[in-house]
Amino acid sequence: MTDFEPAIIAFVCNWCTYTAADLAGTSRLSYPKNVRLIRVMCTGMVDPQYVIKAFLEGADGVLVSGCHPGDCHYINGNFKARRRIKLLKEILPQFGFEQERLRLTWIGASDGIQFAEIMRELTVQLRTLGPNEAKLRMII
Amino acid sequence: MQITNSASRFTNHVSRITHHVLRIWRKAMAKTAQVEVNDRGLLSSLQEFFRSVLESEGMNAMLVPRHLEQKNVIMPVLISDPEQLEGADPLAPAFPVNGARIVSKLTRKPSGGKIAVVLRPCEIRAFIELVKLKQARTDEILIIGMDCPGAYSNRDYVRFVEEKGEEGVARFCQDLFLGKGTDTERIELSPACQSCEFPIPEAADILIGLLGMDTERHFMVQALTQKGENLFETLGLSEAGEPKERQSAVESFVVERKACRDKMFAETAAGVNTLEKLTAYLSSCVNCYNCRAACPVCFCKECVFVTDVFDHDPSQYLKWAARKGAVKMPTDTLFYHITRLAHMSTACVGCGQCSNACPNDIPVAELFRTVSHRTQEAFDYEAGRSPDEAPPLSVFNENELGEVVGIN
């Protein structure tokens, strides 16, 4: 299992975390290629089904990341996202998904360094946790 | 964050306690009558009572479970002619459809008439969820809630009628409420009903009490709201207290049901606690989506699973098959069920219609009830408890849920 590389799907909001990722890039910071960014306009538009689909397709981790509380471009989308993540963290573990596979973070537009750090840390954590069961077997 | 978190939890608790106290107060103040059972029995007396309601000032119609003329099948029937109440049977252990959906059809816009609706407790709780989701209105209806001992699955009800005939149907409620079992040892209540701890229609306008009553002599009529009290007065019912035996009968009934429920939770949770087991649990699912069609709180006009999002390109299936060597068809079965849990589990009232609707006898209701219990607990919410509590996914507090943020 030493050569296991986790696949991480990150739903990042256009206004904060995606911009932070952009900043990390223009600042020539590097972060693991395990992370696949999906840009959304707001974390508040991340329907739970997107997260469920990612896991069932074999993602080892899913990150939802947006603006800090109070900074949401749409006023309160991130607060709604937080409740949805809470909901998923209650449902998914009942089917054996470890809570740690699903993460929510606030990364502001100017937090390029923090963005790269969190991606590195997340990759290390998931490498230790091992692969998602759905990746290995046929699920229905 | 911790402090504000517990502060919001505290506010939730306060609102819950307030609600509980209000309920006790309302109960204590509620106008209660004991209506005498006539010599033709409980069902006939209930029909007579319904008739008095339907004939009361300003009432245009009544929605009540009734035997159909053409076949001995029970369905909700909207009755405007009091003569048609013959055959009304809210005591039969038949539960073909959750009436909340029907009442939603009747109330989504002003109908121009007043309707009394006779519902089971789970139907009322689902209706409350629909009202909160703006799918139904309470303006023109009066809810008559019946104490509910539970019902059979559709298939078992047919067997029950064949075995026991009309006589058995008539005895069913009395036997169950008097703790005599279901009379037919071989047919059990539907699993959802066996583990349902809500026998009392607490959110009704008018409650018809049977549990803890000597139903050969009396049934109880209790007004729980202003609307209920108005009717109580219109009907000229005379006040009598709630019989003492009722409270303890209700309590022991609930204790028994909760024990059954917790056992079901433990068994179901252990049966689905890995993806492998969940796959086995749902393996005979053919994606017919009947569980969704029968669900009273799944209210979307168009479910995402029947939109063209799921009209996958044929080449997509080949790609999926190629990835792991095989793909089960139809695809997206787990995806559908888990997504539905995410979308509606905080509103699930555990009525069991999903299991009733499943062509392949998958214990859908057990799965949904088990997961829902946990999601509702997480938000300190109980579906159908109160019209004043907002659905948890429709609101937020700025300072809450600090524990779900971050990567540590």
Which residues, in sequence order, are CB contacts of B345 under 8 Å at separation 6+?
Answer: A87, A91, B368, B371, B372, B375, B376
Helix axes B364-378, B244-271, angle to 10 degrees: 100
Q: Domain containing A24 — which CATH number?
A: 3.40.50
The alpha carbon of residue B319 is apart from the nearest alpha carbon of chain A, in Å, by 12
Q: Which of A83, A96, A139 sits opposite B396 (nearest CB)?
A: A83
Nearest CA in chain A to B304: A49
Which residues, in sequence order, are CB contacts of B273 under 8 Å at separation 6+?
Answer: A94, A95, A96
Q: A2 lies in a domain? A: no
How distant, in Å, are the alpha carbons of B107, B171, B354 from that of B350? 23, 25, 9
Each as own residue / partner, the long-range contacts of residues B386-391 (CB below 8 Å, 24 or more positions apart, any chain) are B386/B19, B386/B128, B386/B203, B387/B128, B387/B131, B387/B132, B387/B138, B387/B203, B388/B15, B388/B19, B389/B15, B389/B19, B390/B132, B391/B129, B391/B132, B391/B133, B391/B346, B391/B347
- Tokens standing for residue B176: 């169950």
For chain B, report the end-to-end CA distance as a whole number of angstroms.
15
In this structure, the number of other CB atoms found within 10 A of the CB of residue B276 comes to 15
Half-sphere exposure of B51 (CA within 13 A, CB side): 13
Contacts of A82 in chain B (CB under 8 A): 396, 400-401, 404-405
Cα Rg, chain B, nearest whole Å: 23
Q: Which site among A35, A95, A104, A127 would you substitute to test the B interface, given the most B Cβ atoms closer than 10 Å to its Cβ? A: A95
The alpha carbon of residue B315 is apart from the nearest alpha carbon of chain A, in Å, by 17
Domain range spanning residue A95? 8-136
Contacts of A79 in chain B (CB under 8 A): 396-398
Amino acid code (one letter) for B162: E
Cβ–Cβ below 8 Å for A103 and B407: yes
In this structure, the number of other CB atoms found within 10 A of the CB of residue B329 comes to 13
How much is the average pLDDT of B239-244?
88
pLDDT at residue B1, as a whole number: 40
Pairing label, strands A61-66, A102-106: parallel
Tokens 């909760």 label which residue?
A: B258
Q: Report the C-alpha gap between A138 and B324 in whole angstroms.
A: 6
Q: Which of B278, B324, B375 sits opposite A90 (nearest CB)?
A: B375
Cβ–Cβ below 8 Å for A49 and B375: no
Cβ–Cβ below 8 Å for A104 and B326: no
Tokens 């606690």 label which residue?
A: B273
Q: Indicate the SS3 state at residue B325.
A: coil
Cβ–Cβ below 8 Å for B339 and A82: no
Pairing label, strands B115-119, B61-67: parallel
If we measure between CA atoms, which residue out of B120, B115, B129, B143 comes closest to residue B295? B129
- Using a pLDDT cut of 70, give the percent of chain B over it: 92
Q: Which of A94, A106, A137 sits opposite B272 (nearest CB)?
A: A94
What pLDDT, in 10s, does the model give residues A83-109?
999 999 999 999 999 999 999 999 999
How much is the average pLDDT of B79-93?
94
- Tokens standing for residue B374: 């946990």
How much is the average pLDDT of B238-255?
91
**A 118-137 residues with CB below 8 A of B?**
118, 121-122, 125, 133-134, 137
Contact status, residue B355 vs residue B190, Cβ threshold 8 Å: yes
Contacts of B333 in chain A (CB under 8 A): 140
How distant, in Å, are the alpha carbons of B16, B95, B276 from that of B355? 31, 12, 21
Q: Report the C-alpha gap between B225 and B207 in whole angstroms.
A: 10
What pLDDT, in 10s, does the model give residues B326-335?
999 999 999 9
pLDDT at position B144 over 60: yes
Q: Indicate the SS3 state at residue B219.
A: strand
Q: A123 lies in a domain? A: yes
Q: Report the C-alpha gap between A82 and B404 in whole angstroms.
A: 7
Q: Report the C-alpha gap between B318 and B326 in whole angstroms.
A: 9
Q: Which site among B340, B403, B405, B408 would you substitute to test the A interface, given the most A Cβ atoms closer than 10 Å to its Cβ? A: B405
- The answer, for A80 touching chain B at a CB cutoff of 8 Å, is yes
Q: Report the C-alpha gap between B328 and B10 in whole angstroms.
A: 47
Contacts of B345 in chain A (CB under 8 A): 87, 91
Q: Report the C-alpha gap between B223 and B226 in whole angstroms.
A: 8
Confidence of residue B2 (pLDDT cuts 50, 70, 90): very low
Q: A3 lies in a domain? A: no
**SS percent in chain A: helix, strand, coil, step 5:** 45, 15, 35
Contacts of A80 in chain B (CB under 8 A): 393, 396
Structure ipTM: 0.96
Q: Report the C-alpha gap between B113 and B107 in whole angstroms.
A: 10
- The answer, for A99 touching chain B at a CB cutoff of 8 Å, is no
Q: Indicate the SS3 state at residue B222.
A: strand
Q: Report the C-alpha gap between B251 and B233 in whole angstroms.
A: 29
What pLDDT, in 10s, does the model give residues B199-222?
999 999 999 999 988 888 999 999
How much is the average pLDDT of B286-313?
95
In this structure, what DSSP letter does residue B88 have?
B
Q: A1 lies in a domain? A: no
Confidence of residue B393 (pLDDT cuts 50, 70, 90): very high
Q: Report the C-alpha gap between B118 and B105 in whole angstroms.
A: 15
Nearest CA in chain A to B375: A90
Pairing label, strands B31-36, A35-40: unpaired
Q: A122 lies in a domain? A: yes
Contact status, residue B264 vs residue B366, Cβ threshold 8 Å: yes
pLDDT at residue B296, as a whole number: 97
pLDDT at position A56 over 80: yes
**A 8-47 residues with CB below 8 A of B?**
none
Q: A102 lies in a domain? A: yes
pLDDT at residue B12, as a whole number: 62
Q: A131 lies in a domain? A: yes
Contacts of B278 in chain A (CB under 8 A): 95-96
pLDDT at position B163 over 90: no
Residue, of B170 and B222, whose pLDDT is higher: B222
Tally of domains in chain A: 1
Contact status, residue A60 vs residue A8, Cβ threshold 8 Å: yes
What pLDDT, in 10s, does the model give residues B122-132?
999 999 999 99
pLDDT at position A47 over 50: yes
